[in-house]
Chain A
Amino acid sequence: MEAESEFKEYYAKNMRGISGWFKARVYTIERWLYAAHRITGILIVLFVLVHFYSTGWHPGLWWDALLGIIVTFHTANGIRLILAELGFAVGKPLLIKKPSQRPVSIEGVQRYVVVFALVLFVVLAAIWAYYALVVQPMMG
């Protein structure tokens, strides 16, 4: 009986829950970045717990490169989010709107910031991967 009422409540509430974070297919790129930022943030916390226990421990060759991808994405996108959320990259409110006005906060300066963040991510990840896959093994 209790299970039935919970079942009913689930459909009546209609909350998407955690899956709502990752429902990005019909929205803009910011939604994908949001989802990725969440995942990488959670993974970084998990790594940091181990890292605190033993600061010298690293997961290994390719896993190190993967760790680099996670950390550098979170860094690059974090820079973009700091810019946007402090109101520097979202433009100004409009006085005149077109009939089918697209949002300034997404398709104005912020689009360039997105590109900048992704380029920065690729560059940082490449440097990190080079260090983890080439330099580290040479040093032993």
Chain B
Amino acid sequence: MASEEAKEYVLPPEVLEETMKASEELWKPVRKIKFRIYKYNPRKDYAPYWEEHELEVSRGMTVLDALLIIKGEADHSLGLRYSCRMGLCGSCAMMINGKQMLACQTRVLEAAGSGDVVELRPLDNFPVERDLAADFTSFFEKHRAVKPWIIRNDDVELNNPTGPYKQTVDEYARYYQFTDCIKCGACLSACPTAATDYEYLGPQALAQAYRYIVDTRDDGLDVRIPVVDTEHGCWRCHFAASCSDVCPRGVDPAQGIQLLKKLLIKRKFGFKPHKPAEALPAKVKAEKKE
């Protein structure tokens, strides 16, 4: 019964033809681009060197596609990191013509512009693992240092939950923007302060600290203040705003850091003492009111 009804859905021929044409147009080789790729293995090489490859590039080809073609056909030893190929995992951030970008989201022709050279280097201010892959150990340590999780003090409620923690849209909007971070490292790499201060927490960690501090379910401000309210914390930021400029996800870490400073200053001068977590299950709220 069902098999009779199930018909194979076929596109109308003219639509199919149009689609095929558009696809061919997108993947047809357009021009030759020269890739200058940074090669360096710190365990083996004395100094980095450049390798050049020429490739016929189409309009739809991303830098990551090109790199995989080069790795498959020309240079098998090329070291790079990538995972999802669609700008969600943050593995393939690198310097493309001197600016931090995700290789999977940047088309080659977009990066090359009117020129015909695309220069690829590992992220600035990160130790080099090999070739285009950077070492993220310290970056993740900084992220861990700001305790990026919700801290609560009411163990009784946590172990025996009485209801959900409700938030209004406004309370959600305070931190939603910062939850999009994919930890690609582009912001810390673009930061001029991070170029000279190795211990600087960096835009990523500070924006995440702000994201958890303003969350209405969170009680952890006093725990985080010793980490962020230091000379290597938010006071090292001088608003060059390059972190927000290069962020591939529109997280705007610069805004987060400035708002964190505002919060700390208000708290210092006693304008707005930080209230403990405002979002409470209904039952706990009722008990508190009594």
Which A residues lie at the B interface, using CB under 8 A?
Answer: 4, 7-8, 11-21, 23, 25-28, 30-31, 33-35, 37, 81, 84-88, 90-95, 97-98, 100-106, 110
Contact = CB atoms under 8 A, between A and B. Distances in A.
B254 A87 contact: no
A34 B46 contact: no
A90 B254 contact: yes
Contacts of A100: 250
B255 A91 contact: yes
A22 to B, nearest CB: 8
Given A15-B125, A20-B195, A93 B241 contact: no
Contacts of A110: 241
Interface string B240-270: 1110111100101011101101110100000
Nearest to B211: A93
A81 to B, nearest CB: 6
Given A11-B128, A34-B238, A103 B255 contact: yes
B250 to A, nearest CB: 3
B196 A20 contact: yes
A85 B263 CA distance: 11
A8 B47 CA distance: 7
19 contacts: A11-B48, A13-B127, A19-B195, A20-B124, A20-B195, A21-B192, A23-B195, A27-B99, A30-B245, A85-B258, A86-B265, A90-B259, A91-B255, A93-B252, A94-B173, A97-B177, A98-B250, A105-B244, A110-B241
B45 to A, nearest CB: 8
Nearest to A102: B250
A28 B245 contact: yes
A1 to B, nearest CB: 13
* Listed residue (A25, A92, A102, A106) with the most chain B CB atoms within 10 angstroms of its CB: A106
A102 B255 CA distance: 12
B42 interface: yes
Interface of B: 40, 42, 46-48, 97-99, 122-128, 134, 169, 172-178, 180, 190, 192, 194-196, 198, 237-242, 244-247, 250, 252, 254-256, 258-259, 261-263, 265
B262 A103 contact: no
Contact of A86 (B175, B244, B262): B262
Contacts of B175: 93
* Listed residue (A18, A88, A104) with the most chain B CB atoms within 10 angstroms of its CB: A104
B262 A14 contact: no
A17 B259 contact: no
Given A19-B195, A31-B240, A31-B241, A95 B172 contact: yes
Given A23-B192, A34-B192, A90 B255 contact: yes
A33 B178 CA distance: 26
A14 B122 contact: yes
B195 A34 contact: no
Contacts of A11: 40, 42, 47-48, 128
Contacts of B245: 27-28, 30-31, 103, 106
B173 A31 contact: no
Contacts of B99: 26-27
A3 to B, nearest CB: 12
* Listed residue (A81, A90, A110) with the most chain B CB atoms within 10 angstroms of its CB: A90
A20 B239 CA distance: 15
Contacts of B42: 8, 11-12
B176 A93 contact: yes
Contacts of B240: 27, 30-31, 33-34
Contact of A16 (B124, B127, B176, B259): B124
Cβ-closest 5 pairs across A and B:
A20-B195, A87-B262, A101-B250, A103-B244, A105-B255
Given A17-B195, A93-B175, A105-B252, A12 B127 contact: yes
A88 B261 CA distance: 11
Contacts of B97: 26
A104 B241 CA distance: 11
